[in-house]
Structure 1
Amino acid sequence: MFALKKIIAAFILPPGVFIIILLFSGLWFLFKKNWKASIINCFLGISMWAFSISPVADAMLRGLEYNLKIPENSNGDVIILLGGGVYDNAPDLSGIGAPSEDMLGRILTAVRLQKKLNVHVIVSGGVVFEGKKPEAPIVRRFLTDLGVPDKKIIIEDKGRDTIENARYTSEICKRFGYKKPLLVTSAYHMKRSVMSFEKVGIKVMPFPANFKTWENKKYGWEDYLPNSLDLTHTAMHEYIGFLFYKFAY
């Protein structure tokens, strides 16, 4: 009964319901001998199914996270924490605004690292879209809630994307004389982030958070059911962003 419930849910919720519609449309067109429409619908349905399952999403993310490890000797002189999205008007225990699920993982990594090293944390994240609030002050509130002294936090609230985060943060590093910054961001975002800092003349030590893939990851039958397209979207966004940054800056 439990397995049946999971299977039914996978195909009545998006994207599963759209996969079913496309596949049945393909069969209907096949019955009507409309070969072209049948092939297109079946192709779209199978493609959507493939991109929504964990093994395919992980394969795409693995190329971004490949060869990244947690440094054993993390002896940097400052932590750079890159923004990863906030819910700017969400009610929260200590104020208004809360980090996204992905950003929360970065925050927790930065907090534990700061407690270990007792260095400053540069929080980078500005207003991405007009009418929104900057990320950095919201993240700062969470850092202090989790025990990071306010005097140990430096705010960079002008950067709207990764390359601007790198540019404005590099200015802070040069102003304060930081030579060995530790870069904290999600593992899938690290390659583009490191490249961005290299383009503005700053060498950073990657300290990845939020790994989505790992060695010898096991998959069960449920991982082949249609699921969210979020991870596939994330991977494609990073690949496109990496190529754009590589050739545009």
Structure 2
Amino acid sequence: MINKILPLLVLPSGFSLLCLLAGLLLRNSFFLWLGTLLLLAFSMPVMSDFLMRSVEVGEGRVPVSSVGKADAIVVLSGMIVTVDGAPLGEWGGAVDRFDGGVELFKAGRAPVVVFTRGQVPWQPGVVPEGELLAKRALLLGVPQSAIRLTGKAGNTADEAAAASVLLGASKKGVPRRIILVTSAFHMRRARFLFERAGFAVEPFLVDYQTSEKSPLTVLSFLPNAEALAQSDRALREVIGLLFYWVTK
């Protein structure tokens, strides 16, 4: 839980708020101006798109036919929102992870598809996401015999460790080859952690947040909450990758 909360204090939204609070409490105009300027800068789409493009891997989604065969397809969690009245949850923004994993399986890229039992620590009563994704995969024709579920995982490092326990990171001394499916902005950190866990990883990138074809307009310079959230997501990936690289 600590590694999810502490970064909030240094991300643009959290750090700007701290500066504004410090400025008000200390009656210091420097902190007030610093917090305001940071909030405005990171809330501009031109800034958030630049940051997101900096962390997104690859130049676009590749055809499934170009992906080599592997021992398993591993689909990372992070796409289901638990809602009353929706027994299988509702889709969040990263639904392409699920679609990509099912597409790869149906194309025969691997004999099994693995869903991780993602579950944030402060919601212990919520059904782990992988269990809901497995049920959705069954509805799309993926056979029960081809679906695997890891143990519970609170973050990407936990997912890599749980997948290693489930599949075994190597077979007769040779690393197991997996196709790792996650968002393009998350792939660099995810691949690092799964390779550290002993897997040979072929990335399958989905859920791109930006496009080089998007032209600059007046709206690109008008601050909005969605752009601030995207700046936070991009910088969270940088912080996470640095943390795991330093502590490897």
TM-score tier after normalising by the smaller chain length: 0.7 to 0.9
Corresponding position of 1:242: 241
Q: Distance in 2 between matches of 1:117 and 1:50?
A: 46
Corresponding position of 1:30: none
Choose from 121, 135, 142 the match for 2:136: 142
Corresponding position of 2:102: 111
CA pair 114-145 structure 1, distance change in 2 beyond 3 A: same
Q: 5 Å matches for 1:86-235?
A: 86-92=80-86, 95-102=87-94, 104-117=95-108, 119-129=111-121, 130-174=124-168, 179-228=176-225, 229-235=228-234
Corresponding position of 1:56: 47
Q: Distance in 1 between matches of 2:238 and 2:169?
A: 32
RMSD: 2.9
Residue 215 of structure 1 aligns to a residue in which SS? coil
* Farther-moved stretch of structure 1 (201-210 vs 212-221): 212-221
Residue 131 of structure 1 aligns to a residue in which SS? coil
Superposition misfits of 4+ residues, deviation over 3 angstroms: 39-43, 66-72, 175-179
Cα contact 1:99–1:138 (8 A) shared by 2: no
Q: Distance in 1 between matches of 2:214 and 2:151?
A: 38
Offset of 1:89 from its aligned partner?
A: 4.3
- Normalised by the length of structure 1, the TM-score is 0.75
Offset of 1:49 from its aligned partner?
A: 1.6
What amino acid is aligned across from residue 234 of structure 1 in structure 2? R
- Normalised by the length of structure 2, the TM-score is 0.76
Corresponding position of 1:29: none
Q: 5 Å matches for 1:19-58?
A: 37=29, 39-58=30-49
Offset of 1:68 from its aligned partner?
A: 5.4
Offset of 1:240 from its aligned partner?
A: 1.1
Residue 108 of structure 1 aligns to a residue in which SS? helix
Is 1:65 aligned to 2:62, yes or no?
A: no
Instruction: Report which of the two structures shows the higher radius of gyration computed on alpha carbons.
Output: 1
Q: Which runs of 5+ in 1 are unaligned?
A: 1-14, 27-34
Residue 107 of structure 2 aligns to a residue in which SS? helix
Residue 152 of structure 2 aligns to a residue in which SS? coil
CA pair 176-144 structure 1, distance change in 2 beyond 3 A: farther
Cα contact 2:78–2:118 (8 A) shared by 1: no
What amino acid is aligned across from residue 243 of structure 2 in structure 1? F
Q: Distance in 2 between matches of 1:239 and 1:107?
A: 24
* Farther-moved stretch of structure 1 (173-182 vs 159-168): 173-182
Q: Identity rate of aligned residues, in percent?
A: 27
Q: Distance in 1 between matches of 2:91 and 2:135?
A: 10
Q: Which runs of 5+ in 2 are unaligned?
A: 1-12
Offset of 1:202 from its aligned partner?
A: 0.9
Cα contact 2:77–2:129 (8 A) shared by 1: yes
Offset of 1:188 from its aligned partner?
A: 0.6
Corresponding position of 1:7: none
CA pair 69-76 structure 1, distance change in 2 beyond 3 A: farther
CA pair 160-64 structure 1, distance change in 2 beyond 3 A: same
Offset of 1:64 from its aligned partner?
A: 1.2
